[in-house]
C-alpha cells in the first residue's frame, strides 16, 4: 500500500508545500515533479480518472517502486507567496530546496534524485540540474527551451510587450482560461534566461519528450536540448498534445512514463548512489 504525505520546507522564509508519495518498497530513485506555468503540484485534472496529471504520474511511479515529491512553487497552489512575484530564478531556488529536502530522506541518499519538469517546469528542471549538477537524471516533458519565443506566443505579443514595459504586475488570460497576474521581474527573466545555454553543464542522463501535436512548445525544442547537452540523452516523440492526450485517456501518458523510467534504468541512474560529479 502506498502512502501520501503533505510536507513542507522553507525558502527565504516562505513555506513550500509538497506531496511526498512513497511506495510499499522503494525500488529506485526519488522523482521530483515540477509543474508548469500557472499550474500546481497535482496539475491539470484527467477527466477519465478524476485526478491531476502529476498525481497520476506519482501514483504510477509508486506502483513501479519509485517514490516522488511534487511541489507547489511559491506563489502557486498551497505554498506561500503571490504568483505575481514568481520568477524562473525563484522556482529554481524552490527546486534546489526540494532536492535538499529529499536528501534529508534516508532513501534518497542511496537512490538519487531524478528531476522531472513539465513545460515551464522543464525549463526550471534544466537550470536547477545544470547549476547544481546534483540530480541522478533529468526528464524534460514538453519543456520550454526558448522562453523569449514560447512565452510571447502563449500570451500574445501585445500583452507581452505591455508586461515587459510595465513597472507593476500585468493581468492576462492564458489559453486555458485562467486569469494570472505576472510581475515585471518575470518578464525581465523571460528576456534573459537561456536554459539551452545552461543544460550543457549537467553531465548526467537527460530524457527529453516532445509531442508532434503540441501547439504550446515550438517543434524541435527537444532536439535543441539534446544538441546543447554534452552527456547521454534521448529524444522521445509521440503524436501527443501538450497535455499528453489526457483529454482522451491515459494511454499516451502511460507510454511516456514507461519510456522515461526505461531510459533511466538503461542509463544506470536508478542504481546511482551519489549525485553526478
Residue pLDDT tens, the chain, 277 long: 458 999 999 999 999 999 999 999 998 899 999 999 999 999 999 999 999 999 999 999 999 999 999 999 999 999 999 999 999 999 999 999 999 999 987 666 667 999 999 999 999 999 999 999 999 999 999 999 999 999 999 999 999 999 999 999 999 998 888 899 999 999 999 999 999 999 999 999 999 999 999 999 999 999 999 999 999 999 999 999 999 999 999 999 999 999 999 999 999 844 443 333 3
pLDDT attached to residue 268: 83
User: Which H helix or E strand runs over 113?
Assistant: strand 113-118
Q: What CA–CA distances, in Å, run from 263 to 22, 97, 123, 169, 217?
A: 21, 26, 20, 41, 23
Q: How far apart are the first and last CA of the chain?
A: 35
pLDDT attached to residue 168: 97
Per residue in 108-140, pLDDT (tens digit) is: 666 799 999 999 999 999 999 999 999 999 999
Residues whose CB falls within 8 Å of the CB of residue 115, separated by 6 or more in sequence, listed in order: 31, 32, 34, 95, 99, 125, 128, 129, 135, 137, 138, 139
The cell for 154 is 502563449
Helix (H, G, I), strand (E, B) or coil at 173: strand
d(CA 172, CA 55): 27
Single pTM value for the model: 0.95
pLDDT attached to residue 277: 35
Instruction: Check: CB of residue 117 under 8 Å from CB of residue 126.
Output: yes
Tell me the Cα Rg of the chain.
Answer: 17
Which residue(s) pair with 179 in the sheet? 173
Amino acid at each position: 500500500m502506498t502512502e501520501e504525505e503533505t510536507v513542507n520546507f522553507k525558502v527565504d522564509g516562505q513555506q513550500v508545500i509538497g506531496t511526498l508519495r512513497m511506495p510499499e518498497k522503494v525500488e529506485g530513485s526519488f522523482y521530483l515533479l515540477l509543474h508548469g506555468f500557472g499550474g500546481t503540484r497535482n496539475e491539470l485534472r484527467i477527466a477519465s480518472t478524476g485526478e491531476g496529471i502529476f498525481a497520476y504520474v506519482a501514483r504510477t511511479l509508486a506502483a513501479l517502486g519509485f517514490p516522488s515529491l511534487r511541489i507547489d512553487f511559491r506563489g502557486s497552489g498551497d505554498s506561500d507567496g503571490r504568483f505575481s512575484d514568481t520568477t524562473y530564478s525563484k522556482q529554481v531556488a524552490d527546486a534546489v530546496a526540494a532536492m535538499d529536502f529529499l536528501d534529508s530522506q534516508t532513501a534518497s541518499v542511496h537512490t538519487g534524485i531524478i528531476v522531472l519538469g513539465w513545460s515551464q517546469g522543464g525549463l526550471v528542471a534544466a537550470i536547477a540540474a545544470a547549476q547544481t549538477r546534483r540530480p541522478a537524471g533529468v526528464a524534460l516533458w514538453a519543456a520550454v527551451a526558448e522562453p523569449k519565443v514560447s512565452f510571447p506566443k502563449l500570451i500574445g505579443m501585445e500583452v507581452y510587450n505591455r508586461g515587459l514595459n510595465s513597472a507593476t504586475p500585468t493581468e492576462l488570460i492564458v489559453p486555458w482560461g485562467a486569469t494570472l497576474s505576472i510581475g515585471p521581474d518575470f518578464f525581465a527573466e523571460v528576456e534573459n534566461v537561456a536554459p539551452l545555454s545552461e543544460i550543457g553543464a549537467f553531465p548526467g542522463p537527460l530524457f527529453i519528450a516532445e509531442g508532434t501535436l503540441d501547439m504550446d512548445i515550438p517543434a524541435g525544442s527537444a532536439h535543441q536540448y539534446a544538441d546543447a547537452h554534452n552527456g547521454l540523452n534521448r529524444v522521445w516523440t509521440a503524436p501527443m498534445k501538450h497535455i499528453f492526450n489526457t483529454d482522451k485517456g491515459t494511454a499516451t501518458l502511460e507510454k511516456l512514463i514507461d519510456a522515461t523510467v526505461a531510459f533511466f534504468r538503461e542509463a544506470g541512474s536508478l542504481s546511482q548512489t551519489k549525485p553526478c560529479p
